[in-house]
């Protein structure tokens, strides 16, 4: 039945308009069907080699010596005694026991569907607009740190809990485009991975977004 569904899905993809939203959704469905078929081909283990959660494609890691941090519970993954998985799309890592609790969709899927940057500088709307909850996992947060510290992401302007925001540093595109500011700022885990996957994509039309920048930056004049 899975093989038949895969063949039907292939025909649908070929029949749909190129680069349309419906075709993209059909491709995602095809990936999920193939992963389910692969999962059935790997019996006889305590846990499957492949798991699909919120468009993540999780593969069970074989390495026992590497020490990683779990993206879900923010604790160490002890490879010698714990089973853990890595998403091949966005490199989200977590314990096997944390897989059912994953709430962040795969960032690779987001890049595929909507490859564009937030171009407002830290568009903050206030913690009250989030109902004093983490923008990702919805855990209660507060500026006073009780029950959990609210950490702002400089890219999205939203507030996150310490489990979803590890104070990672990244260059924020909006600051670079508007102010030619490449100082790394604190961003959430989700934003950090999104920016890392987007960094090589030529999606910024600088002449349309901020043409005045060419008057102040000599390197841009040479490039133009």
CATH number, position 165: 3.30.40.10
**What is the predicted pLDDT for the residue at 168?**
92
196 and 124 belong to one structural domain? yes
Strand partners, 208: none
Measured between alpha carbons, how far is 76 from 94 in angstroms, rounded to an integer?
Answer: 9
**Three-state SS for 22?**
helix
11 and 90 belong to one structural domain? no
**Three-state SS for 172?**
coil
**What is the predicted pLDDT for the residue at 1?**
85
Taking the CA atoms of 61, 65, 69 and 70 in sequence, report the sign of the dihedral they define.
Answer: positive
| Rg from Cα positions in the chain | 21
205 and 169 belong to one structural domain? yes
Banded model confidence at residue 40, pLDDT cuts 50, 70, 90: low
67 and 94 belong to one structural domain? yes
Measured between alpha carbons, how far is 82 from 57 in angstroms, rounded to an integer?
Answer: 19
**What is the predicted pLDDT for the residue at 66?**
67
Banded model confidence at residue 44, pLDDT cuts 50, 70, 90: very low
H/E run at residue 218: helix 218-223
Q: Is the pLDDT of residue 58 over 50?
A: yes
Average pLDDT of the residues of the chain:
84
Contact yes or no for 161/137 (Cβ under 8 A): yes
Q: What is this structure's pTM?
A: 0.66
- Domain coverage including residue 21: 1-40
Phi, psi of 107 (to 5 degrees): -70, -30
Structural domains of the chain, count: 3
**What is the predicted pLDDT for the residue at 39?**
61
Measured between alpha carbons, how far is 155 from 35 in angstroms, rounded to an integer?
Answer: 33
In the predicted model, what is the mean pLDDT of residues 106-119? 79
28 and 56 belong to one structural domain? no
């Amino acid at each position: 039945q899975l093989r038949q569904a895969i063949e039907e899905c292939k025909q649908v993809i070929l029949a749909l308009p190129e680069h349309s939203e419906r075709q993209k959704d059909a491709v995602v469905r095809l990936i999920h069907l193939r992963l389910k078929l692969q999962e059935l081909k790997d019996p006889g283990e305590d846990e499957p080699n492949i798991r699909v959660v919120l468009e993540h494609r999780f593969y069970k890691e074989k390495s026992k010596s590497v020490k990683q941090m779990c993206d879900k519970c923010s604790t160490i993954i002890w490879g010698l005694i714990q089973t853990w998985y890595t998403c091949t799309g966005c490199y989200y890592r977590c314990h096997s026991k944390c897989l059912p609790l994953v709430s962040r969709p795969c960032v690779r899927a987001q890049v595929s569907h909507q490859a564009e940057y937030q171009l407002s500088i830290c568009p903050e709307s206030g913690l009250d607009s989030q109902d004093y909850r983490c923008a990702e996992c919805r855990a209660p947060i507060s500026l006073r740190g009780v029950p959990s510290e609210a950490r702002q992401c400089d890219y999205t302007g939203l507030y996150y809990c310490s489990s979803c925001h590890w104070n990672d540093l990244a260059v924020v595109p909006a600051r670079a485009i508007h102010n030619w500011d490449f100082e790394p700022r604190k961003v959430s885990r989700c934003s950090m991975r999104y920016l890392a996957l987007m960094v090589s994509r030529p999606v910024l039309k600088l002449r349309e977004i901020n043409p005045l920048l060419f008057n102040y930056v000599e390197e841009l004049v040479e490039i133009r």
